[in-house]
Amino acid sequence: MFFNVLGDKMVSITLSVPKEVKQKMKRFPEMNWSGFIRKVIIEKTEELTWKEGMLKRFYEEEKLTDWAVKLQRRARKGRFNILRKKGLV
């Protein structure tokens, strides 16, 4: 187990890549591949977590939206019937 500069506990994972990719990676020793992959994983998990939260909110609000649409349709139908009885439609 490792710790980052903020003192957070970090775990180690193993990643497999094709040999050709590893050879290409060796051509760029200045690149911190571990840090790059760590950043990509963190960004992707944050993106997916945000998406998950938005979908949850959407489904929670869907019930309210359905209710509001049904209420509006009933109100319009009622007004239409009133206007029809008055001979305006």
Domain boundaries, the chain: 2-85
**Tell me, what's the pLDDT at 21?**
97
Model pLDDT for residues 13-42, shown as the tens digit of each residue? 999 999 999 999 999 999 999 999 999 999
3-state secondary structure 43-61: HHHHHHHHHHHHHHHHHHH
Is there a contact between 10 and 4 (Cβ–Cβ < 8 Å)? Answer: yes
44-73 pLDDT, tens per residue?
999 999 999 999 998 888 888 888 898 888
